[in-house]
Structure 1
């Protein structure tokens, strides 16, 4: 059993059950190994959790980079709704994302400072990337708002949709998502006269 396998199993259990309900024994059982064997790879449950958290943060940032590099040339009319759609669709299938957001909202007390710092790092990174996108596409903006203000408006909408994705019924979430994105696009983005 490898260190990486233990981390994958623990990630899935932490994401689904939370910190308190996940034990080294349940991780060991799923890995078909004794709890004591996990200690040859990790000094404690806390150490395992923090290593997984750091990896999940790194993976969320890498996803943003990968997504923007793949879609960054699209017109804002296409890019902005597609980002929301694809990013949020991961919540049902991506353990990294589930883990990251679960603990961003409900950090175990002993990790609160570390997770708040990681969440701030992620939010700042998102802001940087979307400010750059809006700056690169100033000619696509209808608003007299700065690229910084457009990015903050969009990311505030995005934050609300993350919460809706986690807590709303699918029907309500889709209605809110459509209404919010339509409002943002109509308020800030010129019509795309060319097809992406």
Structure 2
């Protein structure tokens, strides 16, 4: 329980203040423990940051796998569209995890730079399995025109990443309309004519 509470408080601190600005004292205060107690679970601040990043990634994987399970029998267009929309709503519903990921990726602490590249690669490998299966299903059933699966995957990641950035600039209602437009143009570009 305490380790989980420490991770949640750490995610919030790292999300709002970055690695350098986050303080173990602030994290401990938020959890209601002494600063030294954090070392019982996480010997160094770097260990806490890594554990928080892994927890954020685990949470997202669970969401993605559950979503994919819910969509398994849906048509290809519905699967791809719902993943885009549900990713957006996941970010809306989990602002701390979203902000932590954004901060970690855009302003990684020096010790984390190489590890970040490895972690992003792992995250992409896990999600790529799901996305590629949908693209391959779409091409084999004639819903998506024939093209390189890796090219489709690259475009889809750019779509998801672009949405993740753009959502910070608009009010939710306005962005939801933009999301419909974005999806329509993307789908028109990959579907079979």
Matched, 1:15 2:15: yes
Which whole-Å CA distance do the structure 2 matches of 1:111 and 1:169 have between them? Answer: 32
Instruction: Give, in angstroms, the shift of residue 140 of structure 1.
Output: 4.5
Which of 134, 141, 146 aligns to 2:148? It is 146
What is the TM-score with the length of structure 2 in the denominator? 0.85
Aligned to 1:24: 24
Q: Which residue of 2 aligns with 1:97?
A: 98
Displacement after TM superposition at 1:49 (Å):
0.9
Q: Partners of 1:22 and 1:178 in 2: how far apart? A: 37
Match of 2:40, SS?
A: coil
Contact 2:10 2:27 in 1 (8 A): yes
- CA deviation after TM superposition for structure 1 residue 178, in Å: 2.4
Question: What number of residue pairs does the alignment pair up?
Answer: 191
In the aligned structure 1, how far is the partner of 2:54 from the partner of 2:44?
A: 16
Q: CA deviation at 1:12?
A: 2.2
How far, CA to CA, are the matches of 2:86 and 2:111 in structure 1? 33
Report how far residue 182 of structure 1 moved. Answer: 0.5
Shift of the 167–18 alpha-carbon distance from structure 1 to 2, 3 Å rule, reads farther
> 1:165–1:105: structure 2 CA closer, same or farther, 3 Å change rule?
same
Shift of residue 70, structure 1, vs aligned partner? 1.2
CA distance in 1 between partners of 2:168 and 2:113 (Å): 21
State which drifts further: 9-18 or 27-36.
Answer: 9-18
* 1:62 alignment partner, SS class: helix
Contact 1:71 / 1:79 at 8 angstroms: preserved in 2? yes
Structure 2: give runs of 5+ residues left out of the alignment.
none
Distance 1:49 1:17, change over 3 A: same
Give the C-alpha shift of residue 116 in structure 1.
1.7
Whether 1:62 and 2:62 are equivalent positions in the alignment is yes
The answer (yes or no) to whether the contact 2:143–2:192 under 8 Å persists in 1 is yes
Q: Is the 8 A contact 1:142 1:187 kept in 2?
A: no
1:194 corresponds to which residue? none
Instruction: Report the alpha carbon displacement of residue 142 of structure 1 after superposing the two structures with TM.
Output: 4.0
Question: Greater helix percent: which structure?
Answer: 2
